[in-house]
Chains A and B, each alone.
Chain A
Amino acid sequence: MQTIDEKIGQHEPEVMLPERMIDGEYDNRSITTKIDSIILNNKFTKGWLLALALGAGALGVMVLTLVLLVFVGIGLWGVNVPVGWGFDIINFVWWIGIGHAGTLISAILLLMRQRWRTSINRLAETMTLFAVMCAGLFPLFHTGRPWVAYWLFPYPNALGVWPQFRSPLVWDVFAVSTYLTVSALFWYMGLIPDIAGLRDKVRSRVMQMTTGMLAMGWRGSVGHWHRYESAYLLLAGLSTPLVVSVHSIVSLDFAVSILPGWHATIFPPYFVAGAVYAGFAMVLNFVIPIRKWYNLEDFITIKHIDWMAKIMLTTGLIVFYGYIMEAFYAWYSGNIYEWYMMYNRAFGPYMYLYWGLIFCNGLVPQFLWSRKIRLNMAWLWVISLIVGVGMWLERFVIVPVSLHRDFMPSSWGMYNPTIFDISMFVGTFGLFITGMVLYFRFVPIIPVAEMKHQLHAEHDEAHAGAGGHH
């Protein structure tokens, strides 16, 4: 019997994966030039301006929504009894998850000495930063009085009250704010040598001052590098448990409650896997067009894409296992409320969302078993998009669908998002896209110093290989 690969690939020449992670002939200078020229050529392409306009437009929608939300109140959103958590929490969890791939790529792959991360880590880390900002906006405005959000932090105050530290919602505040801070530190630290590189190239006085200040006087001294590498590795080591803790704590917002559909011990690992899965999908959604538009195919090779697709498939399988287990637990518990929750998910008023979720996260990723599809940029892009949608559906199925059927039928209700729920969600895309577009133009997309390090290492390996025996 033929495999899918053979059926699709019969008439096409085999796509060859490059042997090294930097494809093509480069030296230290051409790496600098290639990456920095995107910033230094002072060109604003039409495509870039269009993307910025799109992002800024959507960001404007968000600003309008927030203004109205503050003046009128969160009654503008569709949340009410019994569904008190709607789009705000769905989108919060979804965005936080998107951010997690950034930390996974930059920290965990660094610890595992996976050098291929170099080409994509800056992009993924930047994504993390903006995704966490988008995420944070939802609970911040869901409080209804964002101007007193500082009440969430413990500080001695005239009221004499403190946050309740036994509550997962307070854990969440600590986890998300630590995550944002540490991600920003990690991002900035990785940038220091590259900003110094720009400082040594820019001509205008303003740019010299700006980059000069941001580079902090980095001279690339051996002692600098020695301490830098040690601190960077430590940050990676700290971010790794951090990222696992953040999404575990997010899942505890649900799991610590007694609501059927939320109260499950599988939540922390299943949420973390889902986060990485959605995050890699988002990285692919960005990387596939970006490497083409900025001619970065030699640095972000087809092999990178292939490996990312494989990680997506793996985490997708874990997530799918989670869905199966949820159904199994509901049946095995022998609890009528648990079992009804599961029945209601699959055959209740929101059944189309549940089956959409199974389609997006259970079936579609199976195409990634095929090498042909992993290496086909258009297909992979579409699959990544579907994965993103699937993960959003998952959060919908977990949050409002569990809430809308309370223990007593007298407390049943339906959740209908309003136009303001939607405009807020669209608005966060505006923030995300605006941030990413500015990053593409004003920050080295790929870490320059690390690429040179990698080039050097690959060069050494090639020589050792040419020697033959080792």
Chain B
Amino acid sequence: MSHAPAALQPTTYGLLAAFESPEALAAATKKAREEGYVAMDAFTPFAVEGLADEIGTRDDRVPWIVFISGMTGAALGFLLQVYVHAYDYPMNVGGRPDISWPSFIPVTFECGILAAALSALVGMLALNGLPRPHHPLFGTKSFSRVTDDRFFLCIESTDPKFDSARTREFLASIGAETIEEVEA
């Protein structure tokens, strides 16, 4: 960033406002929405119920990813056993049928669980855009408290209503503790 020519001022990513409690943050988010802001995100030290709906980042794809992966894993696990014991290397054990499916159930089950669990972590990270080593927010002073005891609302500069001075004024009016400009 320091290599940029002086003429190219660092653009603003947005304004970051800190609040003391999840309730204050929820109230501020509501007001920002009513004011007409749309490009914003909230950041909290722990999961706060209902905020995702308020911000509009509710996303119910994770359970579907997990369900589909689990079913696929189980199906592949079962088909593998059928392939091995009925087609590739049939072996007559005590006169049982080649596809003796009851004894294939444990491995089928474990394969399903394994695929579902892996997809839960990977799917969650992917949808969250992680891993992401750097983000403009990490450049601010106050943001390190997001994992400690502060609740943040960031109104992004891409918002059509965004105006550095006016948005700052608005954030102050809804009770922000500190307001900081985030460099892009």
Contact = CB atoms under 8 A, between A and B. Distances in A.
Interface of A: 27-29, 32, 154, 160-166, 168, 170-171, 174-175, 178, 181-182, 185-186, 188-189, 193, 196-197, 199-201, 212-213, 216-231, 234-235, 238-239, 241-242, 245, 249, 252, 448-450, 452-453, 456
B120 A165 contact: no
Contact of A165 (B55, B85, B135, B144): B85
A29 B59 CA distance: 30
23 contacts: A28-B148, A160-B89, A165-B81, A166-B85, A166-B93, A166-B103, A178-B110, A178-B111, A188-B121, A197-B148, A200-B144, A200-B146, A217-B130, A220-B43, A221-B42, A221-B57, A223-B59, A225-B46, A227-B127, A227-B128, A230-B124, A238-B117, A453-B46
Interface string B76-93: 000011001100110101
Contact of A182 (B46, B88, B113, B135): B113
Contact of A174 (B89, B91, B107): B107
Given A161-B89, A228-B124, A242 B130 contact: no
A245 B146 contact: no
Bin chain B's interface residue count. 35 or more
B48 A230 contact: no
Contacts of A27: 149
Given A162-B89, A225-B46, A230-B62, 9 more contacts: A28-B149, A166-B93, A174-B106, A193-B46, A213-B131, A217-B134, A222-B44, A238-B116, A448-B147
B159 to A, nearest CB: 16
B41 interface: yes
Contacts of A28: 45, 148-149
B166 to A, nearest CB: 24
B132 A166 contact: no
A231 B62 contact: yes
B116 A227 contact: no
A165 B121 contact: no
A293 B134 CA distance: 38
A245 B62 contact: no
A425 to B, nearest CB: 27
A221 B96 CA distance: 55
Contacts of B123: 231
User: Which among A165, A181, A196 has the highest number of chain B CB atoms within 10 Å?
Assistant: A165
A162 B84 contact: yes
Contacts of B66: 231, 234, 238
Nearest to A252: B106
Contacts of A189: 120-121, 124
B10 interface: no
Nearest to B81: A165
B64 to A, nearest CB: 10
Given A221-B57, A223-B57, A228-B124, A182 B146 contact: no
A218 B130 contact: yes
A235 B121 contact: yes
B47 interface: yes
The 4 residue pairs across chains A and B that have the minimum distance between CB atoms: A223-B57, A28-B149, A231-B124, A197-B147
Contacts of B48: 222, 225, 456
A201 B145 CA distance: 9
A371 B148 CA distance: 38
B51 A222 contact: yes
Contacts of B58: 226
A32 B42 CA distance: 20
A37 B56 CA distance: 36
Contacts of A174: 106-107, 110-111
Contacts of A448: 147
Contacts of A217: 130-135
A392 B168 CA distance: 66
B147 A181 contact: no
A154 B103 contact: no
Contacts of A200: 144-148
Given A154-B80, A182-B117, A449-B45, A227 B137 contact: no
Contacts of A230: 60, 62-63, 124
A252 B107 CA distance: 13
B47 to A, nearest CB: 4
Contacts of B133: 212-213, 217
